[in-house]
Amino acid sequence: MIKIIKTIAVVLLLGSLNLSAQVKVPVYLDDTKSIQERVEDALSRMTVEEKVGMVHAQSKFSSAGVPRLGIPEIWMSDGPHGVRPEVLWDEWSQAGWTNDSCFAFPALTCLAATWNKDISLLYGKSVGEEARFRNKTVLLGPGVNIYRTPLNGRNFEYMGEDPYLSSKMVVPYIKGVQSNGVATCVKHFALNNQEVDRDKVNVNVDDRALYEIYLPAFKAAVQEGGTWAIMGSYNLYKNEQCCHNQYLLNDILRKEWGFEGVVISDWGGAHNTLQSISNGLDMEYGTWAPGMAWGKTNNYDNYFLAKPYLAMIKSGEIGTKELDEKVRRILRLEFLTNMNKNRPFGAMVSEDHVLAGRKIAEEGIVLLQNKNNVLPIDLSKTKRIAVIGENAIKMMTVGGGSSSLKAKYEVSPLDGLKKRAGAQTEIIYARGYVGDASSEADGYSTGQDLKETRSADELIAEACNVAKNADYVIFVGGLNKSEHQDSEGADRLGLGLPYSQDKLISELAKVNKNLVVVSISGNAVAMPWVNEVPAIIQGWFLGSEAGNAIAAVLVGDVNPSGKLPFTFPVKLEDNGAIALGEYPGSNGQVTYNEGIFVGYRWNEKQKIKPLFSFGYGLSYTTFEYGKVTSDKKEIADSDKITFTVSIKNTGAREGSEIVQLYISDLKSSLPRPVKELKGFEKVSLKAGEEKAVSITIDKAALSYFDPDKHSWVAEPGDFEASIGSSSSDIKGKVAFKLK
């Protein structure tokens, strides 16, 4: 309370001062001065103890300010698709607040599937408003780790397998959040591509793969998005923890990229005082220091950057140069956020957020299969719909690890379809399978009672009996956010669907030809029944408006336009990391033997046909591509080249298509992928409408990373631009040369 009173007193004092008057305001409180000037002035007034107090946590999600100087505490919240409920000051237990419910936005795999940069800006702005309303300084997200295998439990939090797509989608998200005076903390830097042994596995990866695949989205976040914070990852690289890693944090992040922001440890990611001091870490959170048990309380003063750091300074073992640099960066963060008097006030679960969340969900849903145009459902001709599957009723905003949310509300697929169908169409539900009957995560209960006493055979029999007399059968299954599915802390155990869903789907296909499978997941899943099922929808984790968005696509209120941000393999061994035997590693080491050949790059190199390709997605209308042209046939180093193609909607309804540009280097000194995504545009067309779509690239799109030169190289010679509707559906090509 004393801290709060002091802070309020400073604010009131400032409000009463006229900066042009005789009274001299301290530079750090004068917002007419540059941030650099304010930082230096504040730093000069601080004691060593106050500085050390700012570089480590004081509670589970906060770090100290300087009450004496009116510098506020810093408060953080997990994201990236909603603001986490409050926990107790010194415990992981729920705080029991009644006003910390949020709007749950779709998970980031869904955002990436929109392939829409404007939607990403809307997403960031909206979730940033919620974080600001809750008075958070830092939102711990977004995540941009690359989808290396379909087994990573946290893939649902990330933006897919392609570094270019992730780079272009993360930048507007950052700008949207930070427009609210809330910092993004882009995570997890870097190479955090599995949950198995995540805090102790050392990643061995060649420099080409590091720079071409795993770093581009982080670089874009820093240099284009201007993120104010970066979170280190749990794993090791070059046998050094990534949260205090000389090469990643000092050499690359700060020296090569010029990052001026704050590096925050993942919770428990710091392991050593001296390395934390020297190797780029600024703020230490969640540490389990020597002698500390998981969740042990009241130990913040024993963190690596707390008393041990202060003792080293006072003994003369180390100076304050590094400490001053850390505090400079933290003060800069303060002036951009907490001490920025022009910060907007934010909003929580507003009508705009509801509309935004639903729009994101609708645009991200991917139509994977639609034989005989089973979809959309014409409700005027449909008397009865059978909805089958636990995921039709199970709340998905709770669970999954640190991104678990306390949503103000969540519309289930069953309720969404009931609401949309109205009284004219009967909706009958059967559970079909039992997955996870639990309804609690991180101390928060959904209130659902999913207990089931019937056997699997009884549930299947009931589902088939309900399905055989329906005009349509909508099976809603997939994964959930339980351990070993889409969840932090543990990876999946295989590619297949759990809980015997494959058997259930095949049985449903036998009794009703109008079967639609809606897969709720943040990962690819095997589909051995793909030829038995006429229609398949990839539904992701869609947040509060999930049911309404799914219903809108099923009945045709919304024409699906999402495209896959990662490859769906036929079998697990079709994935490069799995095929080469280096997942999850052994003896504390994992080697990325596939190098740069991740996702579709691996499939095309090995000539492996996927189940569904990267960039793939269908529509309820059809599109015709014209001839691909370029504005020049040869470019010099400093030139740009523009490729143009006409797109015509040849169907009967309005729809959106995502035009994708891939570049091939036809002859190079080092091995290169068959082609790589280097541009995309989403275009909306009315029935019969035609538009020209142009995509411009420069030499950077032709370059590869040369590890010997430690630089990006574009070799003169022949290149080819391919434009298509997915990585495997190329509509046209044009050749050009680089001088």
> The tokens of 507 are what?
């049985």
CA nearest neighbour of 722 among 695, 699, 698: 695
Composition of the chain by helix, strand, coil, percent to 5 = 30, 20, 45
Active site residue 266: yes
Nearest-angstrom CA–CA distance, 111 and 356: 12
Q: What is the largest CA-CA distance in the chain?
A: 86
266, 282, 442, 574: the catalytic one is 266
Nearest alpha-carbon partner for 262 in 63, 124, 69: 63
Residue among 576, 581, 593 nearest 209 (CA):
593
- Which contiguous run of DSSP H or E holds residue 695? strand 690-698
Tell me the β-bridge partners of 661: 679, 723
Could you count the other beta carbons within 10 Å of the beta carbon of residue 173?
31
Spatial distance between the Cα atoms of 229 and 261, rounded to a whole number of angstroms:
5
Q: In angstroms, what CA-CA distances link 4 with 12, 66, 67, 68?
A: 12, 11, 8, 11
Check: CB of residue 242 under 8 Å from CB of residue 270. Answer: no
Q: Is the dihedral of CA 377, 380, 384, 388 positive or negative?
A: positive
Phi, psi of 477 (to 5 degrees): -140, -140
Q: How far is 106 from 358, CA to CA, in rounded Å?
A: 9
Structure tokens at 244: 């205090």
Which residues, other chains included, contact 459 with Cβ-Cβ below 8 Å and sequence gap of 6+? 430, 431, 432, 433, 434, 452, 504
- Show the tokens assigned to 116: 């829409």
Query: Measured between alpha carbons, how far is 195 from 202 in angstroms, rounded to an integer?
Result: 13
Q: What DSSP assignment string belongs to 93-160?
A: SB---SS--B--PPPHHHHHHHT-HHHHHHHHHHHHHHHHHTT-SEEE--B------TT-TTGGGS--
Pick left, alpha or beta for residue 357 (phi over 0 → left; psi -120 to 50 → alpha; otherwise beta).
Answer: alpha
Which among 511, 544, 550, 553 is positioned nearest to 414, based on CA atoms? 550
Whether 677 contacts 727, CB under 8 Å: yes
Is 107 within 8 Å of 523 (Cβ atoms)?
no
How far is it, in rounded angstroms, from Cα 663 to Cα 643?
11
Q: Which amino acid is at 61?
A: F
DSSP β-ladder status, 472-478 and 515-520: parallel
Judge contact between 29 and 40, C-beta under 8 A. no
**Enzyme catalytic residues:** 266
